[in-house]
Amino acid sequence: MTLTVAAFDAMPDDGAAALLRACCGAERWVAGMLGRRPLGTIGGALRAADDVWRSLGEADWREAFAHHPRIGESRAAVAQDARAAAWSAGEQTGASTSTVTVQEQMARVNRDYERRFGRIYIVCASGRSAEELLSIARVRLTNDPVAELRVAAAEQHRITRLRLEKLFAESA
């Protein structure tokens, strides 16, 4: 049985919030989405997700980033539920099937990125190879901190939308 938007709209807040946290770990995003119910349709859910995301700021973005593992790793700084952990693993399939050399380079780039920007490297990894993710990270290391924060936030937004689509496509 698939989780419908109607069933989600009818859920108690705590159950719906838990599902939303798997999509995005920013509590203001979760609260904003709860406040937008009923969402009505998947399109309504995605529009609400976009609207709420645009209302967030830097602290919210950083909170969302902390709910992701580094590229090439499986554990996030903030504990993920089973659904979010499974989604992260699936999204990083390309990174997990790379050579040892690429994995070592990715670990080094992750460390360089964190030293430069003070947070993990966030990228929508779905459908991307480890080599592609590594290349993107190297380019993004040349960004200035303000521009890079906006790039990271846009990537988090993409991840959030993909996960919201998965939420309504998978078995409940």
What are the residue ranges spanned by the domains of the chain? Answer: 5-167
Indicate whether 160 pLDDT > 70: yes
Indicate whether 1 pLDDT > 60: no
Q: Is the peptide bond before 38 cis (omega within 30 degrees of 0)?
A: yes
pLDDT at position 171, please?
Answer: 44
pLDDT per residue over 105-155, tens digit each?
A: 999 999 999 999 999 999 999 999 989 999 999 999 999 999 999 999 999
Distance from C-alpha of 14 to C-alpha of 171, rounded to nearest angstrom: 19
- Across 78-164, where does the E strand assignment appear? none
pLDDT per residue over 23-54, tens digit each?
A: 999 999 999 999 999 999 999 999 999 999 99
Longest alpha-carbon distance in the chain? 49
Q: Which residues are catalytic?
A: 68
Beta carbons of 156 and 120 less than 8 angstroms apart? no
What's the predicted TM-score (pTM) here?
0.91
* Torsion on CA atoms 46, 51, 55, 59, rounded to nearest 10: 10
The superfamily in CATH containing domain 5-167 is: Oxo-4-hydroxy-4-carboxy-5-ureidoimidazoline decarboxylase (1.10.3330.10)
> Which DSSP letter does residue 74 get?
S
Average pLDDT over the chain reads 92
Indicate whether 172 pLDDT > 60: no
